[in-house]
Structure 1
Amino acid sequence: MNLRPSRVRFRCTAAIAATLSGVLAAGLAAGTSSAATVRPGPAAAAPADLSRAVIDSTMKRTPDPAKLGGWGYQVGLFLYGTDLVYQRTHDAKYLNYVKGWVDHFVSSSGHLSNSFNNLDSMQAGNLLILLNQQTGQAKYATAAAQIRKRLDTYPRTPDGGFWHATSKTNQLWLDGTYMVVPFLLRYGAAYNDATYADGEAAKQITVYGSHLESPTGLLYHAYSLNPISWADPTTHHSSQFWCRSIGWYGMASLATLDALPKTDPHRASILNTVQQLVSAIGRYQDPATGRWFQIVDKGSLSSNWTETSCSAMYTFIVAKSVALGYVPAADQSIATKGYQGVLAEVATDSSGQTHVKNICIGTNVGDLSYYLSRPRATDDFHGLGAFLIMNEWMQGNRAG
């Protein structure tokens, strides 16, 4: 699935970005859709609807959704983005593709053979709720309830943060917030469980932030109460600002703000964290490409590189924060430049398939050299899913 850039003959990447840039500059600040008016020149062969092109190309490579991979957040993220496009287009092939993957794991009675002993395994639960709403089939609600009930006994740090996995005692990874918080919020809204779900989501965002926020506005990747090689013995957090982990947290924080009433006691602190994060995102944006670096604050290192999945996430975070009035309207320029930078990593091959390049593969917690040496893939689901979420928002789709 993960094609390396050297194995794919790309063409016209720069032309795609250049063709769209004028439309973006004029239309994105107002939050209007420009997809219908984009007409790339024939040399670029760029699709007018890049979201559909990314999904259609993936479907062509893997016609049977059951072969996308095991139950997990990477495929879940991509299919969540696919469902966003279904909500916009109402094209049944996208819903059927999502359903085909989920049905490979969910029995007719709604049972999922999964112990849910890590937060990563919970992210795809969003698809269960969406499919229940979109198809009316009760088995998906039954399966979603398995994840919700698991949280009743899931292990926590002394201050209430969900461990990243039952095997990672007293560890909090920023990644985990996006794996569980949007599911919780969606479950609460769908099944009359919002009192618990919203409160729990706010608590998780707050607890994670309390251990991982830095004065720069960025957040460290992970925290461990117990001694471990990557954690500072005094602060207990890891040493680096890994770009995608911060993106996960930012998106989860925005989802939480969507759900919380203005009177919620956690809201002000979460909003402040988002505002500080957006400020940092703007400060560390690469002026040359508009993207963001694998290690966010070390762009001057020759071994550092701009990573596409986090760049898509940051673009989404800033654009949504502007649209909701959380940050000044002038910050839209950060998102516009970020969008253009991500589009420059989208390419069309000689067969007409669309690809997304320079995506960091799945990553644990480590030191500087570990993050910088992570392999860069093309069409990795981390990047495809993040691209779809970003692109749908930037083109005016506010679904989900």
Structure 2
Amino acid sequence: MDKALQDNIFRYIDELLEKSTPDRPIWNIEKILEGKKVDWNYIDGCMIKAVLEMYAITGEKKYFDFADNFIDYRVREDGSIDGYSVEELNIDNVNAGKTLFELYDLTGKEKYRKAIDLVYSQIEKMPRTKEGNFWHKNIYPNQVWLDGLYMGQPFYMEYETRFHGNKNYDDIYNQFFQVVKNMRDERTGLYYHAYDASREMFWCDKVTGLSSNFWLRALGWYAMALLDTLDKADPSVKEPYEKMKQIFVDLMDAMLRYQDESGMWYQVVNLGGMERNYLETSGSSIMAYALLKGVRLGFLDESYVAYGEKAFNGVCNTYLHVEDGNMHLDGICLVAGLGGATKRPGTFDYYMSEPIVKDDAKGVGPFLLAYTEMLRLQQR
């Protein structure tokens, strides 16, 4: 990674932080477009986690100060969180809770410890499918989305490891194993975006309960879920730990079969030749992170570094650019899901219809996480 690229990325991060406040983070494009007040949400959680990783790798206090101020602004002294409701039972909202562990360790603020317990109380209340998986949201009954594994399980695992004596490890591992059983496509090794255990939703196959496509970012979230959950687990719980490690390796191998010559992946992963399909930034950045961190943790062979570097450089070459004197990261799918008020059907045409934006944290956060892994690679 040449110095000019590094300078541009540091400049880009600094520009984003300088333009953002807890009430108006410039990277939360969804809230800006909706004209809504920012609350406790997974998008900001993803970004602040990346900022904390920047602090961990560079030691620059400005990153720590920004992250601490951002989360401190939302967390009250009694541990309650402005804009967060446990009773909403939305697994997305657990994601930002991961930042609390790190900030508690760095600051010793007792309110962060109390907030961790508050978020954990949602884990204890989440409704489940008949197989034992958390519903994605209370408003999506009996549905498991790949995204949700990333939003909930790394937090759940870290809490169990640090504060609960590994008590619910079996539950965590079982939720992943059920996803392999119910959502993995044997032919490609890829995973469908979502699963309806009730087989009632209009978007699902009435026999399998599965949605109809392999969406890149969902596969990315799932790869990160496997990796980051393992990272917080006690490896002495041998058998399920090793089994989940193999699931991660198998997923990486499956994804590499679809890596484009640019280094990136397509929005609908296995249909790269289809008209309107496009190389997408957020999922490609996540894959770069997963490959590089997977090697660093010893889950993947050293040879996988080349694929991770190719992915990261592909994102930079394709979508990182200067416009009107400012750095931007383009090619980010704003959002994708199933069902809901707009009756999202999960078809190929649907995934092509969602807006493509720049500088949204769902792309920027993973991009920065991948960048921290590139920096760690340099320091070895």
Runs of 4+ with >4 A deviation: none
Q: Give 2:98's match in structure 1, choosing from 126, 129, 152.
A: 126
Q: 2:277 is aligned with what amino acid?
A: N
Runs of 5+ consecutive residues of structure 1 not aligned to the other structure: 1-19, 21-37, 41-45
Q: Name which of 174, 177, 202 aligns with 1:206.
A: 177
The CA distance in 1 between the partners of 2:8 and 2:172, in whole Å, is: 34
Structure 2 counterpart of 1:369: 349
Q: Deviations over 1:242-299 (max 9, x none)?
A: 0000011111111233324254332343223212211111110111x11000000000
Name the counterpart of 2:209. Answer: 236
Does residue 78 of structure 1 match 2:47?
A: yes
Distance verdict in 2 for CA 1:67–1:398, change over 3 Å: farther
Post-superposition Cα deviations, 1:308-333, rounded to whole Å, max 9, x if no partner, equal 01001111222233334434433332
1:48 aligns with 2:48: no
Contact 2:8 2:327 in 1 (8 A): no
The Cα shift of 1:397 comes to 7.0
- 1:180 Cα deviation (Å)? 0.8
Aligned to 2:24: 67
> 1 CA distance for matches of 2:225 and 2:165?
16
Q: Where do 1:291-370 residues align within 5 Å?
A: 291-344=264-317, 345-351=319-325, 353-365=326-338, 366-370=346-350
Q: Within 5 A, what are the aligned runs for 1:184-195?
A: 184-190=156-162, 192-195=163-166
The match for 2:126 among 140, 151, 154 is 154
Paired with 2:6 and 2:370, the residues of 1 have a C-alpha distance of 17
TM-score, normalised via structure 1 length: 0.83
Greater displacement, 161-170 / 338-347 = 338-347
User: 1:286 aligned to 2:250?
Assistant: no
Q: For the structure 1 residues 197 and 147, does the alpha-carbon distance in structure 2 shift closer, same or farther, using more than 3 Å as the test?
A: farther
Q: 1:57 aligns with which of 12, 15, 20?
A: 15
Question: What CA distance in whole angstroms lies between the structure 2 residues aligned with 1:168 and 1:243?
Answer: 21
Helix, strand or coil at the partner of 2:144: strand
Which is further off, 249-258 or 88-97? Answer: 88-97
Deviation at 1:49, TM superposition (A): 6.5
SS in 2 for 1:292: coil
Please report how far the alpha carbon of residue 118 of structure 1 lies from its aligned counterpart in structure 2 after TM superposition: 0.6
Deviation at 1:119, TM superposition (A): 0.5
Cα RMSD (Å): 2.0
Deviates more, 1:242-251 or 1:338-347: 338-347
Structure 1 residue identity aligned to 2:322: T
Partners in 1 of 2:243 and 2:131 — Cα distance?
17
Structure 2 residue corresponding to 1:392, chosen from 372, 375, 379: 372
Counterpart secondary structure, 2:195 = strand
Note if 1:97 corresponds to 2:66: yes
CA contact (8 A) 1:221 1:238 kept: yes
Confirm or deny that 1:106 pairs with 2:72.
Answer: no
| TM-fit CA distance, 1:73 | 0.5
For this pair of structures, how many residues does the alignment match?
A: 353
The match for 1:249 is 222
Q: How far apart, CA to CA, are the structure 2 residues paired with 1:47 and 1:398? A: 12
Q: Which has the higher contact order (CA 8 A, sep 6+)?
A: 1
Counterpart of 1:115 in structure 2 is: 85
| Structure 2 match to 1:11 | none
Could you tell me the percent identity over the aligned residues? 31
Partner Cα separation in structure 1 for residue 300 and residue 103 of structure 2: 34
